[in-house]
Structure formats: C-alpha cells, structure tokens
Chains A and B, each alone.
With several copies, the nearest count.
Chain A
Amino acid sequence: MSLEELYREVILDHYRNPRHRKPLDRADAHAEGVNPLCGDEVTVELTVADGTITDVAAIGQGCSISQSSASMMTDAVLGKRIEEVRELIHRFKAMMDIDREVDLGLDPERPGAVLGDLEALQGVRRYPVRIKCANLPWTTLQEALDQLSDS
C-alpha cells in the first residue's frame, strides 16, 4: 500500500484547512485529549439542544492524521442526534480496529452509517502506530458526550 493512499488529498485538505476550529462561545461539554507518546492534542467542545449537536469545535495540534480526523469529525457530527453520534463513534473505531474484518457499514439507510470523508482515513489501518492518532478526536468526543449524560 502506497503512502499516497495514506495521505489522500482530502486528509491534507482537512489538515491544512481544519473545519470548526474556533472555540465555542458557550459549550455544554468540553473535553481534552492527549496522546502522551506523540504529544498530539485535541480539545472538543459541543453545544447541544434537544438531543442534537447544534455546534461543535475541535481545536488541537498534532499530525495530519489526528488533526484531519478531528476536522472531519466535526463535519460529520454537526446537526446529528447524540445516538447517531455514538453510533458514528462506534463505526469509526470499528473501521480502525485492525483485528476486525469490518463491514464499513456504508448502508445509507442506517443512521450514522455514512462515514463520508472519514473513509479516507481507512488507509491508517495499515499503519498501526498511527491508529491512535486517528482515534484521538473520537475518544475525546466520547468523553464530551459522557459529560453530557453525567450532568
């Protein structure tokens, strides 16, 4: 597998032009994630109304994989219901699980099934040490969601 498949255009685009990178004025949840081994950092902020993500921000620094993953994630979750987002997290992590033969679940009938741009990160599966990078924003998002349900 070639490096071109890892570093797809869309990844570099999200890396260089991250979406939703501005801190929210008012956030209902705020979680910080760090990968101590490589130093990558992602902060996730959410506002929620009626069980739906109405605004999101991901601010961080790190490699193209963690930062593009964060950026794509914001695109993917904005406007989704929390259950859908949880399902999305689950699917994304499944996609990154090298021990699993994944059904990428691209069935557009299922809520949260469409990974969209995120599929570009599939190439990361071949670079096990980078999987943590791709997962970091998602783990942080999960923490943010857990805060919502705690409160």
Chain B
Amino acid sequence: MTGLEHLRADFPVLRREIGGKPVHFLDSAASSQKPVSVLEAMDEFYRCCYANVHRGAYTLSVESTDRYEAARTRVASFINAPDPDQVVFVRGATSALNLIAHGWGGTHLRAGDRILLTEMEHHANLVPWQMVAARTGARLDFIPLTPEYRLDLEVFEDKLDDDVAVVGVTGMSNVLGTIPPIPRIAEAAKGVGALVVVDGAQLVPHQPVDVQSLGADFLVFSAHKMLGPTGIGALWGRPERLEEMEPYEGGGEMIADVQLHSSTWAAIPHRFEAGTPPIVEAVGFAAAIDYLEKVGMDQIAAHDADLTGYALDRLAQVPQLSVYGPAGVEGRGGVISFTLADVHPHDLATILDQHGVSVRAGHHCAKPLMRHLCVPATARASFYLYNTRADVDALVAALGTASDLFGVG
C-alpha cells in the first residue's frame, strides 16, 4: 500500500458504474484516465485566451503562443532535457517514430544497413522501420527474448556490428512489462555508431526518465498515456541528431522561406511542426506533467511496483492462469498479460467487464510477440497511480466467475 488512494477523487471516470458495479479501470497501458486539473486547464484555456500560435501580434495569440511554448519547456524539464528546443510536439508516439524512421532513416539508411529492433516492439516501433527498410534496402534484425521474457543481451551484443545503423527498443514492453536496461543497450549501440531510438510510450508515464543519463538519441512518448489529452505526444532528440533529420511533413510554421519551387526550413523544433499544432493539447500535457510531478515519479513507480507484486501473487493462485512476463517486479512495470486455460482473452474481457473490470484483450499491437509467445492474444491488466489493491481483488474475483462459466479448474 503506497497511500495514493486519495488521488482517485481527481479522476471522474472512476466514479462510473458499469453493469451496476464500480469500474475497475485496468487498461492504462492503452490510455490513462485524466484528472480534473488537466481537463480544467484545457477548458479554461479555450475560454480565456485561445488563438492560433506563432503567427499573431495580438494579445490572444501571444498568450496562446506563450502557453504553448511554456508547455514545451515543461515537457523538457520533465525528462531533464537541457533545452526546450530539443522537444518536438507531435501527434503521439506513433507519429514521432514515423518522423524518426522516415525523416532520419529515410535519408541516412543505405542498402545493407541493419535496423536492430526487439521481438517485443509495439507495431509503432516496427512498421515504420519496415516501411523505410523497403524504401532504402536496409534490413531488419531482431533481439530475441530469454525464456524469462527479458531481452537476450548476449545475442544483442553478438548481433551488434558496424552494419547496425539503428537500434530501436521499447523502454517498457506494453505486453510483458519488461523494462530493458536502456543505458547499457545505448552504450553498446553507440560503440558501433548506431542511432538509439527509445520508444518511451510506456516507460515515461511510469518511471523517472532523465535523457541526460538514458543514452538515447531519440525518445518518444504520448500524452494520453500519462494523464494528458489525446492528440499530442513528444519527441526528444539530441541536437545533432535533430539536425540530421529531414522534416517529414511540409506546410506552414515549419519554413524559413518558401519560393514557388523550393523552400528552406525553419529552426528546430519548428521545422518538424508543420501546420497548426495541437495547441490546447500542449496545455493539457503540461498540466498532466504538473500533476505527475506533484505526486512524484518515484512514488508512482513504487506504487506500480507494489500493485504489480500484489497482483502477481494473487494471480499465481488462480488455477490454470498463465502470466506472460518476468517473474517479480524487478526490471518490470505494471503491465500483466495473462491467459486463463482455454478461455479466449476476448471472452475473458467480456466476462470481466460485466464485473466492472476493464482489461484489454488482443494482440496489443505486438503481433510478432504474440507469435513468439504462441498465443493469438492475451488479456492484459495494467496499473497506474489511481489503481488500488481493490482493483486487483475485483480482477481476481471476476476471473473466478470466468472459470466457473467455462468450467475451468
């Protein structure tokens, strides 16, 4: 117990009832709920001082621009980036990874280069690389998992050679909960001059992250998984890597000059922010970070670990239930994938939902990993700061009903 229960009052959705039962929201890995302070920040901004940014000399536009740029500073400080201009606002982690794959990879990868990913990447950190590999002639290669669901670092180091141009790795698996040792991986990758791309979509919301010690060249994450709104995410990049990257989208705001037949790009980060950005979403993103920091990222990580440990223990007692992911809470986040006997995860999700328990069922946008695990799908429960042991208890109780219905155990 880590004493964050009082925070639940800040999240209106958690007062919902589903089928007459209080909601137990266990799908924060897909998207988190939002505290009132985030909703109010956005609402108030629309009501008081909304206007388009960067282009106006009038008060509302200046205020809007200031709030938008202040949000950039807020995001930068959250990950300890030395300069706000190292933060690019994007639609989300997926957009950011596409920008990197196409904008950096598209101009730097050569036939024969290798892009080294892991077998547990989310499609967002796989499909863009497949696309750019097809275009450039680079090849994909994969770091396998150990039987303990961790990255096989020995194989990784074997595979690392001068042909490896990119190492792309998730900061935390959205299926297994596995947290690979990024600094170690990054250091090895740097040794062969590879670009290190970290998909922080799951990591950044749940653990303190400091880009100055992480070792990555690029780090991406989405606001909606960390108490913020949909429609925005961030890409952090090392200045020299950002300089190497070509813009992926053209349009207003991202240019220095436009002639009829050619254009020159604006300074970084605006070069990568074509068109009207998600202005109000940036304000909400900043408010979400304020909230997270008030609670404290260390606290949040400890809370996740506490719940995860409790849940792993309780789930271990459910007959015929299999968990896919590292044992224990060391090097693992608050994401638990499981199956129950021959009950299909989709059926499980429906049954749990009838008990107010919201879990995800499916391939979790990680089909190659599903194949590796030899399951078509899993059910997944994931935790965040507003979850409690009562949520875990409700999950376990509902699994009992599922077992009864399907005659398991």
Interface residues of A (CB under 8 A from B): 3-4, 6-7, 12, 16, 34, 36-41, 61-65, 67, 127-130, 133
Contacts and interface: CB of A to CB of B under 8 A. Distances in A.
A63 B346 contact: yes
A38 B61 CA distance: 13
Contact of A62 (B61, B344, B406): B344
Contact of B351 (A3, A61, A129): A3
A65 B270 CA distance: 24
B266 A36 contact: yes
A127 to B, nearest CB: 6
Given A7-B351, A133-B346, 9 more contacts: A3-B354, A3-B401, A36-B257, A63-B344, A65-B347, A128-B66, A129-B57, A129-B350, A130-B350
B296 interface: no
Interface of B: 54-57, 61-62, 65-66, 255-257, 266-267, 270, 342-347, 350-351, 354, 361-363, 367, 370, 376-377, 401, 405-407
Nearest to A34: B256
B132 to A, nearest CB: 23
A38 B346 contact: yes
Contacts of A64: 343-344, 347, 406
Contacts of A130: 57, 346, 350
B377 A3 contact: no
A61 B376 contact: yes
Nearest to B54: A37
B406 A7 contact: yes
Contacts of B362: 37-39
A61 B375 CA distance: 10
Nearest to A130: B350
Given A36-B255, A38-B362, A7 B405 contact: yes
Contacts of B256: 34, 36
A4 B354 CA distance: 11
Nearest to A129: B62
B342 A16 contact: yes
B269 to A, nearest CB: 13
Nearest to B61: A129
Contacts of A41: 376
A127 B352 CA distance: 13
A37 B55 contact: yes
A127 B19 CA distance: 12
A93 B377 CA distance: 26
Contacts of B66: 128
A127 B344 contact: no
A65 B347 CA distance: 8
B255 to A, nearest CB: 7
A39 B255 CA distance: 11
Contact of B377 (A12, A38, A129): A38
Contacts of A37: 54-55, 362
